[in-house]
Amino acid sequence: MTAVIIEDEIPGGKRLEKLLIDKKFTVLIILTSVANALKWLEENNHPDLVFMDIKLRDGNCFRILDKIQIKSKIVFTTAYDEFALKAFNYNAIDYLLKPIDESKLDKMILKYESFKIDFQNDLDWTTLEKNIENKFKSSFLVSSGNYIKKIETFEVICFFSDANSTFILTNQNRQFTINNSLDNIEQQLHSYSFFRISRKFIINKKYISGLENTSQIKLLIPEANDFEFKVSRLKSKSFLEWYKK
């Protein structure tokens, strides 16, 4: 069987690839963005299965599904819990909750085998997206000059506090003031993607490129490394557990 993985978190994508190879899949490619996925799916034969993360760095997977009729069976890999994902449980479309449990992957493969014939991907994408977005904060409104700007959560490198104010740092290396406290923001974010590394910073896992001495975080956006993203000593153990998922 063949598979394509659409996942922008490299460790998670590699782990899923290994699990699938162990189960005799041929993983054709790991695609890390909406743009790359659209291009590849337009130019290549579709595999038996597409494992698709919902939130990608440059948008969500619904942009792919709106533009391309994917002939593969689709399995969502996501950090959202079962309440938000109840819409998945029909039409033989399945999901794997991150971090992926191998036993659930095995059950999904059995389900796939039983639905090989006359399968159609006719899920109501609009309803599904609404259910997911309602569970956790998907965007924030900030002031930009005389305008109100909407920042999608996946664009956020981190939230941080300074001089009794709270700020958003985006993947364009831009800062905006936000009228909320870090404590409140922390409650509105999914704990799979965001972690409160100290009293000052909440950071997005998507933009972490690595660690120095297990506590100094380096980011994929070079310009953003002007900040000192250091994990507090009290949070170091829980951070490492979170980061390896």
Q: Kindly write down the DSSP assignment for every residue of 125-152, as one continuous string.
A: HHHHHHHHHTTS--EEEEEETTEEEEEE
Q: Is 111 exposed, middle or buried (0-12, 13-18, 19+ CB in 10 A)?
A: middle
Task: Say what the pLDDT of residue 82 is.
Answer: 47
Q: Which CATH superfamily is 139-243 part of?
A: LytTr DNA-binding domain (2.40.50.1020)
Please write the tens of the pLDDT for every residue from 24-38: 999 999 999 999 999
Q: What percent of the chain has pLDDT over 90?
A: 31
Q: What is the mean pLDDT of the segment spanning 168-196?
A: 89
For residue 77, the model assigns a pLDDT of 84
Using only C-alpha atoms, what is the Rg of the chain? 19
The C-alpha torsion from 12 through 17 and 19 to 20, rounded to 10°, is 140
Which of 16-25, 204-213, 214-223 is predicted with the least confidence, judged by mean pLDDT? 214-223
Domain with CATH 3.40.50.2300 in the chain: 2-133
Confidence of residue 39 (pLDDT cuts 50, 70, 90): very high
Please tell me which residue, 214 or 53, carries the higher pLDDT value: 53
| pLDDT average, residue stretch 183-199 | 89
Q: What is the pLDDT of residue 88?
A: 47
146 Cβ partners below 8 Å, 6+ apart? none
Residues of the chain with CATH 2.40.50.1020: 139-243
Please compute the mean of the pLDDT values over residues 149-161 and round it to a whole number. Answer: 91
209-221 per-position pLDDT tens digit: 888 876 788 887 7
In terms of pTM, does the model score above 0.85?
A: no
Helix (H) / strand (E) containing 166: strand 165-170
pLDDT given at position 87 = 38
Class of domain 2-133: alpha beta
Please give the residue that has the higher pLDDT: either 54 or 33: 33
pLDDT band, residue 66 (cuts 50/70/90): confident
pLDDT, one tens digit per residue, over 108-144 is 888 777 665 444 555 555 555 555 555 678 889 888 7
Residue 169 has pLDDT above 90, yes or no: yes
| 163 vs 42: which has the higher pLDDT | 42
Q: Are 28 and 4 in contact (CB under 8 A)?
A: yes
pLDDT at 90: 34
Residue 83 is predicted with a pLDDT of 38
Mean pLDDT of the region 74-98? 61
